[in-house]
């Protein structure tokens, strides 16, 4: 078994300029994600692992691998903490 990080199901999101507004729990919880956090959140669809997301962030925002890796991990950890992402346990194929 391994984990995939995916967007939580009970959310609505809207892009406003460079930011993304994410509404959770039928409006009880609202979060504003900056451009970088929103990009990372969008990539958490079960398709990409941490390394792949880090690589895409490096390309998109022209940052080094070490800096991007630190930012990606911190962002994903925070998004898990506030419930915008969830860990999905899947059988390894």
Q: What is the pLDDT of residues 69-88, one digit of tens each?
A: 999 999 999 999 999 999 88
Give CA separation, 61 vs 7, 21, 77, 86, in Å.
22, 20, 20, 25
* pLDDT at position 19: 93
Q: Residue 56 belongs to a domain with what CATH number?
A: 3.90.930.60
Whether residue 50 is predicted with pLDDT greater than 80 in this model: the reply is: yes
Q: Check residue 26 and give left, alpha or beta (phi > 0: left; psi -120 to 50: alpha).
A: left
* pLDDT at position 9: 87
Provide the 10 A C-beta neighbour count for residue 43: 20
Q: What's the total number of domains in the chain? A: 1
Whether residue 52 is predicted with pLDDT greater than 70 in this model: the reply is: yes
Q: What residues does 3 pair with on adjacent strands?
A: 89
Q: Which domain holds residue 82?
A: 2-90
Phi then psi dihedrals of residue 9, to 5 deg? -80, -30
- Please state the pTM of the whole predicted model: 0.89
């Amino acid at each position: 078994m391994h984990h995939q990080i995916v967007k939580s199901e009970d959310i609505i999101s809207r892009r406003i300029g460079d930011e993304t507004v994410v509404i959770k729990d039928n409006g009880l919880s609202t979060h504003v994600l900056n451009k970088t956090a929103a990009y990372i959140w969008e990539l958490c669809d079960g398709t990409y692992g941490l390394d792949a997301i880090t690589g895409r962030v490096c390309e998109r925002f022209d940052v080094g691998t070490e800096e991007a890796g630190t930012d990606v991990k911190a962002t994903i950890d925070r998004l898990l903490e506030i419930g915008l992402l969830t860990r999905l346990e899947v059988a390894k194929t």
